């Protein structure tokens, strides 16, 4: 499978150089629920620099103490690929550049690039700024000239440019000309409201770029779902500078997803945006930044999402087994992702065989059919193996006779006590580990926590690897709300070790039972990954119990 994939192009040096400008730390951080600390911002900047973007916009130093501290500490990073930009607005109406606190803060940030935003739509000049149109032109020219005279490279963000171009083309272009004549190096045409469509984006950019001697760029928002398409079309129209945010972060519907832009232009339009070999870091960079943002990476995110190259239809899996590129528009490895085949009630035998091969297991066609029957029956009862790969692997290994038994459950009991002072749960688990019976007691803030504590205490002396396994997520879904409190419950539990994460599933009309199933499988899968050896199976009915206890603070 070629790097460009079906219909794609191999990158060539013949294409003009397109500058990649990231605005995650400023425009992207305006997303609801995204709150980066200064340390987070430094980590994100380092990740973007390692990926190889050209410019990292660090924020607005004159707007808040956090951004001011970021610029003060930006020298702590060893910048290898990117240059840092500070963002701010043109001077205020009827005020000189020497008397503008915002411009003073931009200079004090000490960045080689300064991005100035100015109004390009008459509506905003008249109603938002409430100044004259001539004064707005002067504000742009004075501010750009001030920064250029101070030795800064100036990127001028023409705010609401596409709306302004539609409303009054002559004035919108006059704003650009004022910036260019004052020394702006780059003109970024901004679709601030996100309503522009791809054909209009390409047409307007071509008209502007063909008549301006400076670099023309774009900054699109995704309110009409076209931000990435607009950016790619704009480059086709002559744009040589594209702005976007990691994972499409940003207010309202977000900014253009910079990672999708990079992948599309490199793999399908032959541009070289990143240093050689860096494109394969795209998926890992997306995940890393999502972790710093404390937001889940959208599974369906193009190119880098966990579902971007995933199929669960049996017909598709059968074709993929013969030709991996049959249902993928690029080679997933080109962006650091991978192709996956899921198993669900929609699966065919090909899915099971492909998934087993992915796991390093060889199944006969007959056993694959038996596994498929088991999966379909289980999913009919509420299981979801497509989102719980670990549970599926344990099922296949068990049916193939290749699953070690690290422990088996005799019984457990959970007690919940509520008092005026505190809520307390206690769990007792009785396990068999080879020929030994173990009873362990755990306390916790709820029944599942108490069970987890008791299970870990029971196993700790047998499996040291358990200390490196921890829970990272716990989700509960009621499958039939009409049954009220007796409804069937599905629990999805994600565990992790130092290498990665895995998810297990449990289903029952009792939430504790469903939780125990997911919990026990999560621990078992972790031990499988760690290569733990099960205890020797030598049943001894008279073997005494081994009692362990654990408190919630242990």
Judge whether 512 and 476 are in contact, CB under 8 Å: no
**Shared-domain flag, residues 444 and 386:** no
- d(C-alpha 53, C-alpha 262), whole Å: 9
- 341 Cβ neighbours under 8 A, 6+ residues apart: 310, 311, 312, 317, 320, 351, 354, 355, 358
What is the separation of C-alpha 104 from the centre of its chain, rounded to a whole number of angstroms? 36
Q: Which CATH number fits the domain that encloses residue 135?
A: 3.20.20.70
Per-residue confidence band for 377, with pLDDT thresholds at 50, 70 and 90: confident
| Choice between 89 and 295, residue whose per-residue pLDDT is larger | 89
Residue 446 in any domain: the answer is yes
DSSP 16: P
Judge whether 176 and 120 are in contact, CB under 8 Å: yes
Residue 303 in any domain: the answer is no
At CA 305, angle to CA 303 and CA 311, rounded to 5? 90
Helix (H, G, I), strand (E, B) or coil at 13: coil
**Residue 273 is encoded by which pair of tokens?**
């945006």
Judge whether 82 and 55 are in contact, CB under 8 Å: yes
**Shared-domain flag, residues 394 and 431:** no
Number of domains within the chain: 3
The predicted pLDDT at position 31 comes to: 95
In 250-388, which residue ranges form alpha helices assigned H by DSSP? 258-269, 282-293, 314-322, 349-358, 365-380
Q: 59-69: per-residue pLDDT in tens?
A: 999 888 999 99
The predicted pLDDT at position 554 comes to: 35
- Greatest Cα pair distance, the chain, in angstroms, is 96
Strand order in the sheet with 545-550: 408-418, 423-433, 436-444, 545-550
User: With 70 as the cut, is the pLDDT of residue 251 above it?
Assistant: yes
Q: 19-48: per-residue pLDDT in tens?
A: 999 999 999 999 998 999 999 999 999 999
Query: Any idea which residue has 């199944």 for tokens?
Result: 363
User: With 50 as the cut, is the pLDDT of residue 174 above it?
Assistant: yes
Helix (H, G, I), strand (E, B) or coil at 116: strand
**Residue 34 is encoded by which pair of tokens?**
């995204």
The predicted pLDDT at position 360 comes to: 75
**Shared-domain flag, residues 284 and 360:** no
Mean pLDDT of 515-524: 95
The predicted pLDDT at position 345 comes to: 44
| Choice between 554 and 319, residue whose per-residue pLDDT is larger | 319
Residue 373 in any domain: the answer is yes
Q: How many CA atoms lie within 13 A of 82 on its CB side?
A: 24
Contacts 24+ apart (CB under 8 A), 31-36: 31/249, 31/250, 31/251, 31/254, 32/251, 33/295, 34/249, 34/293, 34/295, 35/294, 36/292, 36/293
**Shared-domain flag, residues 176 and 237:** yes
**Residue that finishes a domain, picked among 358, 382, 399:** 399
- d(C-alpha 40, C-alpha 518), whole Å: 33
DSSP 26: T
Phi-psi region of 336 (alpha: psi -120 to 50; beta: other; left: phi over 0): left
**Shared-domain flag, residues 268 and 320:** no
Residue 252 in any domain: the answer is yes
Q: CA nearest 27: which of 217, 215, 231, 253?
A: 253
Judge whether 495 and 529 are in contact, CB under 8 Å: no
Q: CA nearest 86: which of 122, 62, 119?
A: 62
User: With 70 as the cut, is the pLDDT of residue 540 above it?
Assistant: no
**Shared-domain flag, residues 350 and 462:** no
**Shared-domain flag, residues 230 and 366:** no
Mean pLDDT of 237-260: 97
**Shared-domain flag, residues 283 and 319:** no
**Residue 195 is encoded by which pair of tokens?**
């309503």
The predicted pLDDT at position 309 comes to: 80
**Shared-domain flag, residues 153 and 283:** yes
From 344-353, 474-483, 505-514, 534-543, the region with the lowest mean pLDDT: 344-353
Helix (H, G, I), strand (E, B) or coil at 429: strand
What is the separation of C-alpha 237 from the centre of its chain, rounded to a whole number of angstroms? 30
Judge whether 342 and 311 are in contact, CB under 8 Å: yes
The predicted pLDDT at position 553 comes to: 38
**Residue that finishes a domain, picked among 399, 424, 453:** 399
Q: 395-444: per-residue pLDDT in tens?
A: 888 888 888 999 999 999 999 988 767 788 999 999 999 888 999 999 98
What is the separation of C-alpha 399 from the centre of its chain, rounded to a whole number of angstroms? 35
Mean pLDDT of 453-479: 89
Residue 10 in any domain: the answer is no
Residue 13 in any domain: the answer is no
Judge whether 31 and 255 are in contact, CB under 8 Å: no
Q: Write out the residue range of the structural domain in which residue 437 sits.
A: 408-550
Helix (H, G, I), strand (E, B) or coil at 182: coil
DSSP 126: I
Q: How far is CA 344 from CA 10, 367, 377, 385, 487, in A?
A: 36, 16, 10, 6, 22
Helix (H, G, I), strand (E, B) or coil at 431: strand
Helix (H, G, I), strand (E, B) or coil at 45: helix
The predicted pLDDT at position 474 comes to: 86
Other C-beta atoms lying within 10 Å of the C-beta of residue 55: 25
Q: How far is CA 525 from CA 237, 344, 356, 518, in A?
A: 52, 20, 16, 10
At CA 506, angle to CA 503 and CA 512, rounded to 5? 120
Q: What is the chain's length? A: 554
**Shared-domain flag, residues 497 and 391:** no
Query: Any idea which residue has 């541009």 for tokens?
Result: 271
Q: Which helix (H) or strand (E) holds 492?
A: strand 489-496
| Choice between 121 and 403, residue whose per-residue pLDDT is larger | 121
Judge whether 63 and 87 are in contact, CB under 8 Å: no
Mean pLDDT rounded to a whole number for the chain: 87
**Shared-domain flag, residues 135 and 75:** yes
Q: Which helix (H) or strand (E) holds 468?
A: none
**Shared-domain flag, residues 160 and 258:** yes
Per-residue confidence band for 4, with pLDDT thresholds at 50, 70 and 90: very low
Mean pLDDT of 2-25: 67
Q: Which helix (H) or strand (E) holds 540?
A: none
In 62-197, which residue ranges form alpha helices assigned H by DSSP? 65-73, 101-109, 122-124, 133-149, 161-167, 169-181
Provide DSSP, 186-198: EEEEEETT----H
The predicted pLDDT at position 326 comes to: 62
Q: 189-213: per-residue pLDDT in tens?
A: 999 999 999 999 999 999 999 999 9
Query: Phi and psi for 314 in degrees, rounded to 5?
Result: -60, -40
**Residue that finishes a domain, picked among 264, 293, 322:** 293
């Amino acid at each position: 499978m070629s790097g460009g994939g079906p219909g794609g192009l191999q990158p060539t040096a013949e294409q003009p150089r397109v500058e990649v400008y990231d605005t995650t730390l400023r425009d992207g951080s305006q997303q609801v629920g995204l709150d980066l600390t200064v340390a987070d911002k430094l980590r994100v900047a380092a990740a973007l620099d390692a990926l190889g973007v050209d410019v990292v916009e660090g924020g607005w130093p004159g707007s808040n103490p956090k951004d001011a501290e970021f610029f003060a500490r930006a020298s702590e990073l060893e910048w290898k690929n990117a240059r840092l930009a500070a963002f701010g607005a043109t001077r205020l109406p009827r005020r000189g550049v020497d008397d503008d606190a915002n411009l003073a803060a931009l200079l004090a940030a000490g960045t080689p690039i300064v991005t100035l935003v100015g109004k390009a739509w008459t509506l905003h000049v008249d109603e938002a700024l409430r100044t004259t149109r001539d004064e707005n032109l002067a504000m742009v020219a004075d501010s750009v000239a001030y920064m250029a005279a101070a030795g800064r490279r100036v990127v001028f963000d023409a705010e609401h440019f596409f709306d302004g171009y539609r409303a009054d083309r002559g004035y919108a272009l006059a704003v650009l000309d004022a910036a260019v004549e004052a020394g702006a190096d780059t003109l970024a045409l901004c679709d601030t409201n996100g309503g522009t469509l791809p054909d209009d984006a390409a047409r307007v950019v071509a008209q502007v770029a063909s008549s301006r001697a400076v670099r023309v760029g774009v900054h699109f928002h995704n309110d009409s779902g076209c931000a990435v398409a607009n950016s790619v079309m704009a480059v086709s129209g002559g744009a040589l500078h594209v702005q976007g945010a990691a994972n499409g972060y940003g207010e309202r519907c977000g900014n253009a997803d910079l990672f999708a832009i990079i992948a599309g232009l490199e793999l399908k339009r032959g541009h070289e945006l990143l240093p050689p070999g860096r494109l394969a870091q795209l998926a890992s960079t997306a995940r890393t930044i999502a972790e710093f943002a404390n937001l889940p990476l959208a599974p369906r995110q193009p190119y880098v999402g966990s579902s971007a190259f995933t199929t669960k239809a049996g017909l598709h899996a059968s074709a993929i087994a013969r030709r991996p590129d049959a249902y993928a528009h690029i080679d997933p490895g080109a962006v650091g992702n991978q192709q996956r085949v899921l198993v669900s009630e929609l699966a065919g035998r090909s899915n099971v065989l492909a998934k087993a091969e992915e796991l390093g297991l060889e199944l006969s066609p007959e056993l694959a059919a038996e596994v498929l029957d088991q999966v379909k029956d289980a999913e009919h009862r509420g299981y979801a193996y497509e989102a719980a790969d670990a549970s599926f692997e344990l099922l296949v290994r068990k049916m193939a006779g290749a699953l070690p038994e690290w422990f088996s459950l005799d019984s457990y009991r959970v007690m919940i006590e509520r008092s005026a002072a505190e809520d307390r749960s206690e769990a007792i688990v009785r396990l068999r580990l080879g020929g030994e019976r173990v009873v362990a007691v755990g306390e916790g803030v709820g029944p599942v926590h108490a069970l987890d504590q008791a299970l870990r205490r029971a196993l700790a002396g047998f499996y040291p690897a358990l200390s490196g396994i921890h829970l990272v997520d716990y989700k509960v879904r009621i499958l039939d709300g009409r049954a009220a409190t007796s409804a069937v419950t599905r629990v999805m539990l994600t565990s992790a070790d130092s290498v990665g994460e895995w998810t297990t599933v449990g289903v029952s009309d009792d939430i504790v039972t469903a939780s125990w199933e997911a919990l026990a499988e999560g621990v078992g899968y972790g031990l499988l990954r760690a290569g733990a050896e099960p205890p020797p199976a030598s049943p001894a009915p008279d073997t005494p119990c081994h009692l362990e206890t654990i408190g919630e603070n242990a």
